[in-house]
Amino acid sequence: MDIALQIGQRIKDCRVAKGLTVKDLAAQAQITSSMLSQIERGQANPSLNTIRLLSGALDEPMFRFFMDEVNVRNEVVRAGERRHIIEHGTEYELLAPDTNGLLEMLELSLAPGSRSCGQLLSHTGEEIALVQRGSIELILEDDTCLLHTGDSVRIKSGLKHCWHNPGQNVCVLVFAVSPPDF
């Protein structure tokens, strides 16, 4: 969608939601009705100052007019349609629709006796992990901790760590990383 049309449509949607006419909003924003009508139809590119005036009159933050439309269908990830990411020989399933957000959620299944990586690794951002099934060792810097189903842990940014499954069954770990690292 053309950016001018997108901005105009967002402004119109806000105006209609608040029950304002073109004339009412134009008066409140101190612009002409003709200008507002052109903006809403994508026939005029409003200046940032005009967008600021409309934002104030509508009591909406300016960024709302620039946001992509939210469609819940684009945000859902079906269990059988997850993207697979392989890093250091370990396969992760991405639980988010993409890696473009501020938070990343992944699922890791580790076979008995396997490790998430050959050596301890670190990354930028915090990680919070939850053991969904089984028991798993977290090797964190010079320390090791055994976690069981339902246990969770926070790993602060920059700490070297690795996951190891010492058990006889597959271990499933769900974790969030912010900011995204993959």
Tell me: do 61 and 82 sit in the same domain. no
Question: The CATH number of the domain where 88 resides is what?
Answer: 2.60.120.10
- pLDDT for the residue 141: 95
pLDDT of residue 1: 55
Q: What is the per-residue pLDDT across 84-128, written as a single tens digit (0 to 9) for each?
A: 888 877 889 999 888 878 889 999 999 999 999 989 999 888 999
In total, how many domains does the chain have?
2
Domain check: are 110 and 153 in the same one?
Answer: yes
Do 113 and 45 have their domain in common?
A: no
Same domain, 28 and 93: no
Judgement on whether residues 91 and 167 belong to the same structural domain of the protein: yes
Give the integer Cα–Cα distance in Å for 159 and 147. 18
Cut 0.85: pTM above it? no
| Summary mean pLDDT of the chain | 91
Do 105 and 59 reside in the same domain of the chain? no
97 and 38 share one domain: no
Domain extent, residue 44, equals: 3-65
Q: 82 and 163: one domain?
A: yes
Q: Tokens at residue 96, please? A: 């988010």
Q: Work out the number of other CB atoms within 10 angstroms of the CB of residue 7.
A: 22
CA dist 70 and 174 (Å) reads: 26
CATH number of the domain within which 31 lies: 1.10.260.40
Whether the pLDDT of residue 35 is over 70: the answer is yes
For 137-180, the pLDDT digits (tens) are: 999 999 999 999 999 999 999 999 999 999 999 999 999 999 88
Q: What is the largest CA-CA distance in the chain?
A: 73
Does residue 181 carry a pLDDT above 70? Answer: yes
CA 59 to mean position of chain CA atoms = 26
Strand order of the β-sheet with 135-140 is 143-148, 135-140, 161-164
The answer as to whether 52 is a domain residue is yes
Based on the fold, state whether residues 13 and 55 are members of the same structural domain: yes
pLDDT band at 40 (very low <50, low <70, confident <90, very high): very high
